[in-house]
Chains A and B, each alone.
Chain A
Amino acid sequence: MRLHYRSRSRLALSTVISPLVRGAIEGLESRMLLTAGGLDLTFGSAGKVLADFPGAAALQSDGKILVLNGTRLLSRYTADGKPDTSFGIKGAMALTY
């Protein structure tokens, strides 16, 4: 009698818990994917850039970052936040009118 009860109980447990466990694992997996939100450490220095000449920023289609300081100094950074040395002098140029 007890054995029968125990085996039934185990059967019930396995059917109830198994989807829960599976759900928890799936939840953990999706959480890990979604958590691909965060500081992108491949950008600049460990995710950040600190440089001279702040200003209004815009992106070019390849991800390069343009920053306009006032109306006269334009600097460009690569998509990864490094000064774009192919732009002006070491990545910055004075605009001429």
Chain B
Amino acid sequence: MRSDNKIVIASYDPSNSNDIILSRYTANGQVDNSFGGGDGEITEPFFGGDQTGPKLISKMLIRPDNNRIYLAGNVSPADNGLYDWALSAYNDTGDPYAEFSGLTTTHWGYTSTLNDAVLTRDNKIVAVGAFTVSDSHHPDVQEDFAIARYDEHGQPDTSFSGDGQTLINFGVDRELNPAPANDSSFDVAQAVAVDGSNNIVIAGYSYNPDDDIAPYYTSIARLKADGRLDASFGPGGFDGDGRVSLLIATRVSPPTPTDVAILPSNKVLLASAGLGAAGRDFVVTRLNVNGSFDDTFSDNIFAPGAKIYTDFGGDDAPDTLLLHDGKAVVTGVSYGASQPRLAMARYLTGESSPFGGTPINLPGTLEFENFDNGGEGVAYHDTDAVNQGGVYRNTGVDIQAIPSGGYNLGFARAGEWTQYTVNVAQAGDYDLEVRLASLRGGGTFRLEMDGSLLAGNVTVPNTHDWSNYDVVEMGRAHLTAGTHVIRLVMSANDATGYVANFDSLKVTANTANTPQTPFGGTAFTTPGRLQLENYDEGGEGVAYHDTEAANLGGAYRNAGADVEAIPAASGGGNALDFAKAGEWTEYTFVAPPLQGASYDLLLHYAAPRGGCLDRWKSVGPSDYAS
């Protein structure tokens, strides 16, 4: 489905196994005559026109901004039953995407399967599946989750795990036997999703052939954007290192889960098949952000649990999990006495979703009438069920037309709230301003972000008319990059029984220069040894630039530059690490005392792939002269 709701279908060409037929239809299913030279279809080679072996498409992706089409799947170059991964790309016209160099393949080793793929928020492609380390004739046979990330041109993304690909092994039977003697499990990634911070969540199964009772486990991993396992996923679990193994459905074949989605809160939703009273049922499972079962996901507050079973009366297997309007639609197949039938169910996720489908981009202006979808108690709370303003949206929230244009939240009473899913482009300090109008003034309100106070309470000034708008400065706040939920909360009514008419929230990057000062207050004196972790104070864009807002090394300083502790065996201290192209740090120093003298610059660093581990090296042909 394209973002404009046009429908693109890829089907194998029955007359030529090298070709794919791309056909396009309007949102209402009519042949789209603007595609393929007037007949709505185009035939093109895929996965390399000269491949002799079979070619299998697993997934089609369409970029929302330019409608570029990606196909991901498998090829068997030698036609011997052993497979590599393959990607092809086409423009929105259906012509091959020239920058893609025709075909991308990833040869993992013996054989591999590509089961799912997803586009990241920055338009990269993440593909997941399984890599079989060796065949069944070998004693140490093993399958691992295989994950690869490619840039938009299909090239391996070297900012992911160094070479664009990584493997994850789960080990066997972790729940029943935490310390297995044999770590050779069959781990197969079946589905992938990307969360609001560009973390990658991969769901699949692990199979232990020696376990007669419960051979199948659900296995889930979360990777940071740079490809490392996210240690905040699964703490207290079997690994506590970004991997979680759960018992959701046993003795189910084919194994599950079949799909995964990430809720705005970064909770994980899984669609699986599990044994119910009559064959398999749909099982929808919600996990907390840390990977544990979310026991609040239940139809019944007296029977908390993380799994909801849905029986269609047959042997029911879900296939796809899709989020819309704070709800999850799960589709699949029900096998009964007659033909297989379409089975669909919808679930309340308890979470709101952005109005219009995409988060509000910040910095920018947030119009208060564009609160999230999801309904009363989830996306908003209003005193009554009626839109007393009667315009723009059909919910309980009261929206009025502003005479000079636009809409406002009106009839706002203490206790009411509306919430907004936002995307902060870059971490930093931002100024917050709310535009509002009030006949009397004196009411109070506040802003919350992700459940914590962001700004306020602020007392509403008297603007002397419900239609006379003024700007209230809410102060400055530090926002981290990524998806967040902002909530506008009415705290107290004024004498009229209302708080104010609310138009918009303006979020602007703080333009005041943050002073740059030496770390510890004293400039580094030359000559001498400068510890690189002692970069200046002043923050992102002033004293340093780092790709992420978090200190990925987690040591020494609480800022975006990544500092890692050096193990005592390697000398101790701290080092800048996870250094990526484009990042920088600055240091204020006192010029050397000898004017005109030459000095050598030596850098102490460790780089395993560069062939230099823990050594001093001269940096650059020209010496520094003061």
A residues neighboring B (CB under 8 Å) = 31-40, 42-44, 47-63, 65-68, 71, 74-77, 79, 81, 86-88, 93, 95-97
Contacts and interface: CB of A to CB of B under 8 A. Distances in A.
A58 B334 contact: no
B347 A97 contact: no
A53 B301 CA distance: 36
Contacts of B308: 37-39
A52 B41 contact: no
B381 to A, nearest CB: 10
Interface in B2-33: 3, 5, 7, 9, 11, 21, 23, 25, 27-29, 31
Contacts of B319: 56-57
A96 B27 CA distance: 15
B591 interface: no
Contact of B3 (A61, A67, A74): A61
A65 B329 contact: yes
A49 B343 contact: yes
A40 B342 CA distance: 18
B345 A54 contact: no
A38 to B, nearest CB: 4
Given A35-B298, A66-B7, A95-B23, A47 B349 contact: no
B311 to A, nearest CB: 9
A-B complex: 10 closest residue pairs judged by Cβ atoms: A43-B346, A38-B299, A34-B296, A57-B331, A37-B297, A36-B350, A54-B342, A49-B344, A71-B11, A58-B1
A36 B348 contact: yes
A53 B350 contact: no
Most interface-central of B25, B41, B333 (chain A CB within 10 A): B25
B1 to A, nearest CB: 4
Interface of B: 1, 3, 5, 7, 9, 11, 21, 23, 25, 27-29, 31, 41, 286, 296-301, 304, 308, 310, 312-313, 319-320, 322, 324-325, 327, 329, 331-334, 339-350, 357, 377-378
A38 B344 contact: no
Contacts of B300: 35, 38
Contacts of A93: 29
B377 A48 contact: no
Contacts of B7: 58, 66, 74
A74 to B, nearest CB: 6
A63 B324 contact: yes
A48 B29 contact: no
B559 to A, nearest CB: 33
Given A31-B296, A39-B310, A67-B331, A61 B346 contact: no
B344 A65 contact: yes
B186 to A, nearest CB: 26
B9 A50 contact: no
A38 B325 CA distance: 15
A45 to B, nearest CB: 10
A59 B346 contact: no
